[in-house]
Structure 1
Amino acid sequence: MSTEPLFAIVDDDEAVRQALSELLEVSAWRCLTFSNAPAFIAAHAPGRFAAVVTDLNLPGQSGLQLQHHLRCVDPGLPVIVISAQSDPGVRARCLAAGAIAYLTKPISDEMLLVHLAAAARQS
């Protein structure tokens, strides 16, 4: 079993999943990608992931709904929300619900890596 942190990427956009996966790969981090919240939830187990990067606008169960679910089943799991929405109210709701970061697309690779490194140190 690897001791390296494992991150989850949840986004319905295949190009975004691929780009984030490649970013983590070149940063020597492991990740699994999921196209929707139910697929991630099926693979989730407390302690398995160091952090979750989720799109806010997912089909069916939104990223915010996923975040609320995770607060109940794995309250220590860091969640990073990414979204094309720059609305301060939406950002505030996600952060108030426990997200460690809310990044607006196109996201800064450097900012995402900073937040993932902080999450990895906590795990």
Structure 2
Amino acid sequence: MPHVPTVAIVDDDEAVREALGDLLMVSGLACHCFESAADFLAARRSRRFDCLVTDIRMPGMNGIELIERLHDERARMPVVVLSSVLDEQTRMRALALGARAWLAKPVTDAHLLGALASAMGSAGPDTGR
């Protein structure tokens, strides 16, 4: 049985999490949604994820801090940022830390799915747990 890629979605907006989760599932991907970076990090201890989609502005640990944490842990999991933040310095920081794509909300389904396919196609397994 072939491996079905699992995408983690971290966004504090429930409507965004639900919409992204539905899109990924009908596209043949498995996903787990988290309302905070802390929830995702806790789950990551016992689950394997093939890709992370994260927002930037979130209460508690923001998306940049989450990407920094994964970078510091040498995690190989590709990260795609999906955010309404238009700040160029923040975008450049995320990309410098290894984010594979920065997509602005709202994003088309095709653009998001293309970015995920590209990110997961160029990544090895996440062994940096």
Q: What TM-score do you get using the length of structure 1 for normalisation?
A: 0.91
Q: What is the deviation of 1:120?
A: 3.1
User: 10-19 or 46-55, which moves further after superposition?
Assistant: 46-55
State the percentage of identical aligned residues: 45
Conserved in 1, the CA contact under 8 Å of 2:52 and 2:78? Answer: yes
Moved more, 84-93 or 28-37: 84-93
Structure 2 residue runs without a partner (length 5+): 125-129
Q: Does 1:107 align with 2:81?
A: no
**Counterpart AA for 1:72:** D
Number of equivalenced pairs = 123
Off by >6 Å, runs of 4+ in structure 1 = none
Q: Does 1:58 align with 2:65?
A: no
For residues 102 and 59 of structure 1, the distance between their equivalents in structure 2, rounded to whole angstroms, comes to: 20
Give the TM-score, by structure 2 length: 0.87
RMSD, aligned α-carbons: 1.9
Compare 21-30 and 85-94 and name the one that shifted more: 85-94
The 1:115/1:92 distance shift into structure 2, 3 A limit, reads: same
Aligned to 1:91, the other structure's residue is in SS state: helix
User: 2:61 is paired with a residue of what secondary structure?
Assistant: coil
Task: Tell whether 2:41 aligns with 1:41.
Answer: yes
Greater displacement, 75-84 / 29-38? 75-84
Distance 1:64 1:5, change over 3 A: same
Question: Displacement, 1:119?
Answer: 3.0
Distance in 1, matches of 2:65 and 2:12, equals 15
Could you tell me how far apart the structure 1 residues matched to 2:4 and 2:75 are?
21
Within the alignment, does 1:84 sit opposite 2:58 as a pair?
no
- Deviation for aligned residue 1:26: 1.0
* Residue ranges of structure 1 left out of the alignment (5+ in a row): none
